[in-house]
Amino acid sequence: MENLHHIVVVGGGAGGLELVTRLGNKLGKKRKARITLVDSDLTHVWKPLLHEVASGSLDASANEINYRAHARKHHYEFQLGRMSGLDRDTRQLVIAPFHDDDGSEVVPERRIQYDTLVIAVGSTANDFGTPGAQDHCLFLDSLKQARRFHNLMLNAFLRKNHRALQGQDHGLNISIIGAGATGVELAAELRLASRELPVYGMNHLQPSDVSITVIEAADRILPALPARLSAAASRELERQHIDVRTGQPVSEVRASSLVMKDGTELPSEMTIWAAGIKAPAFLAELDGLEANRGNQLVVRQSLQTTRDEAIFALGDCAECPQPDSDRPVPPRAQAAHQQADALFKTLCNRLAGEAPVDFVYNDHGSLINFSRYTTVGNLMGNLSGRSMYVEGKVARLFYLSLYRMHQMALHGPLRTGVIWLMDKISRAMQPRLKLH
């Protein structure tokens, strides 16, 4: 193999996959560098879609990207595995052994040599050590977890429908802890499921039998977004008969209930944790790299880690400063997309012996989608710097364009157009909810 500069990207999420795609198309194709992606899964699904997979309104199989096939088309290599360690002196990253579902070792621990390393492993839910959360909550950090939630939801509806047929108590209580974008959007998707499933034979269970509660410790939902957007989202949840409880932290999660800080107990047969995120714990122990309390790697504005200029980090796993602000770049999909773009330029410059590009985050606004009911949000004006409130069909169009932009970055305009057409055909032919 040629002695090419080896760029290794760990994590095939939104930012990582967009980065290796562009690097492969520009550097890998022309044999100017060797590009490798490392991920613990075989496929990619855009993380902001996981709540739709969980509720059944999106079929993940039709939206997955196979890393191996994508790597072949875009001139990079793919290594299946989970990063577990780092040796900066020898510039090697350690990949943990890979086991099958039965626990048998398929591939032993191995090491990959790198010249430039990019860490883009994303984030996981942060339960803040709440008693019972790990044992009794469902999480939506991965496609596997989303699919598990979907199966449990279908079984719960089926069980309650049977109890209704027998004339027994059949109320279903679902609680979502955390009223950020994921929690709010998931609540709307679950309300849609409660209204659609009776159409497909579960007609003894009515939407009014399904109680959905969103719980937020702050004094309003969507606390990180503008107050006007929060108020509009609250009104929409109320219209969908979703109970919103703010200013009420959860102190304990039990098998079939939640204990609030004030001691009150709330029945909950299905509890989803959507409050807070943190970076994977192994990042805090990566051969001396600086990490914060949330396990994020601390990086400069160039996205280089503070203690090693050959190692970069982007997305949710990185604490990146913003100029003229005491707050770091927020952990959002649009930030990862912008960082991937900046880092692509930096890595091309790095091969040419030129200076890195400083990353400056541009907030383009926020959009909250309430399933097929409505969409609300605010868009930032690039010239005026002011935000514009949008809702309804216009907001929905902007919301859908976010995913199409991600697809454009991965597939190009022609293939994205074909995918869009196939999506339209599939939605016309398939049931509105995934029923298995």
Query: Could you tell me the CATH number of the domain that includes residue 216?
Result: 3.50.50.60
The mean pLDDT of 171-199, rounded to a whole number, is 93
Instruction: Please list, in sequence order, all residues whose beta carbon lies within 8 angstroms of the beta carbon of residue 73, skipping any fewer than 6 positions away.
Output: none
Type of residue numbered 291: A
Res. 207: pLDDT tops 80: yes
* 315 located within any domain: yes
Domain that holds residue 379: 365-429
> Same domain for 394 and 284?
no
Percent of the chain with pLDDT over 90: 73
- 152 and 232 assigned to the same domain: yes
Residues 57-77: tens digit of each pLDDT = 888 888 899 999 999 999 999
Helix, strand or coil for residue 6? strand
Residue after which a domain boundary falls, among 244, 276, 308: 276
Verify that 293 and 266 share a domain, yes or no: no
Do residues 287 and 299 both lie within one domain? Answer: yes
Q: Per the domain annotation, does 317 fall within a domain?
A: yes
Kind plus residue range of the DSSP H or E element containing 95: strand 92-95
Q: Is residue 1 part of a domain?
A: no
- What pLDDT is attached to residue 355? 95
**205-214, 357-366, 397-406: which range is least confident on average?**
397-406
> Residue 431 — pLDDT band, cuts 50, 70, 90?
confident
Decide if 312 is inside a domain: yes
Per-residue burial over 111-144, b if 16 or more Cβ lie within 10 Å, else e, is ebebebbbbbbbbbbbbeebebbeebbbbbbbbe
202 has pLDDT over 80: yes
Cβ count near 230 (within 10 Å): 23
The domain boundary residue, chosen from 297, 317, 351? 351
Provide the pLDDT for residue 382: 45
Count: domains in the chain: 3
What tokens does 374 get? 């409505």
What mean pLDDT is predicted for residues 251-264?
95
Strands of the sheet with 265-267, listed across from one edge? 250-253, 257-260, 265-267
Three-state SS at 54: helix
User: Which amino acid, residue 57?
Assistant: S
Fill in the amino acid letter for 377: G
* Residue where a domain stops, chosen among 224, 245, 276: 276
How does pLDDT run across 295-306, given as a tens digit for each residue? 999 999 999 999
What is the structure's pLDDT at 386? 66
pLDDT of residue 384: 44
Q: Decide which of 80 and 384 is more confident.
A: 80
Count the neighbouring beta carbons within 10 Å of the beta carbon of residue 298.
17
Spatial CB neighbours of 215, under 8 Å, sequence gap ≥ 6: 175, 176, 177, 178, 179, 245, 248, 250, 258, 266
Contact between 116 and 350 (Cβ < 8 Å): yes
Q: Distance of CA 184 to CAs 206, 216, 229, 273, 274, Å?
A: 22, 10, 12, 12, 9
Pairing of strands 210-216, 172-177: parallel
Instruction: Tell me whether residue 128 is in a domain.
Output: no
Pseudo-torsion of CA 295, 279, 356, 14, nearest 10°? 180
Same-domain status, 164 and 272: yes
Is 268 found in the same domain as 145?
Answer: yes
Average pLDDT value for the chain = 92
| d(C-alpha 98, C-alpha 104), whole Å | 8
The model's confidence at residue 96, banded by pLDDT at 50, 70 and 90, is very high
pLDDT one-digit tens code per residue, 344-386: 999 999 999 999 999 999 988 888 998 888 888 888 744 445 6
Residue 356 lies in a domain: no
User: Which own/partner pairs from 402-408 qualify as long-range (CB within 8 Å, at least 24 positions apart)?
Assistant: 402/48, 402/333, 402/334, 402/367, 403/46, 403/48, 403/49, 405/337, 406/14, 406/18, 406/46, 406/333, 406/337
pLDDT tens across 104-149, in order? 998 899 999 999 999 999 999 999 999 999 999 999 999 999 999 9
* Residues 300 and 191 both lie in one domain: no
Asked if residue 30 and residue 108 are part of one domain, the reply reads yes
Question: By the 8 A CB rule, do 71 and 63 touch?
Answer: no
Instruction: Please say if the pLDDT value at position 339 is more than 80.
Output: yes
Of 281, 259, 279, 280, the C-alpha closest to 268 is: 259
Is the residue at 359 inside a domain?
Answer: no
Q: Which of 323, 283, 317, 281 lies closest to 301, judged by CA? A: 323
Same domain, 331 and 393: no
Is the confidence at residue 50, as pLDDT, over 80?
yes
45 occurs within a structural domain:
yes
C-alpha–C-alpha distance, residues 329 and 297, integer Å: 13
Is the same domain home to 230 and 145?
Answer: yes
Is the pLDDT at 220 greater than 70? The verdict is: yes
Q: Are residues 100 and 209 in the same domain?
A: no
∠ Cα 362 364 368 (to 5°): 140
Q: Which three-class secondary structure state does DSSP give residue 190?
A: helix
Task: Determine the pLDDT at residue 201.
Answer: 81
Bridge partners for 266 per DSSP? 258
Give the model's pLDDT for residue 385. 54
Full 3-state SS string of 338-400? HHHHHHHHHHHHHHCCCCCCCCCCCCCEEEEEECCCEEEEEEECCCCCCEEEEEHHHHHHHHH
Q: Are residues 35 and 112 in the same domain?
A: yes
CA gap 401, 375 in Å, rounded? 13
* pLDDT computed for residue 383 by the predictor: 40
The pLDDT confidence band at residue 224, using thresholds 50, 70 and 90, is confident
Q: Give the whole-angstrom CA distance, residue 311 versus residue 415.
A: 33
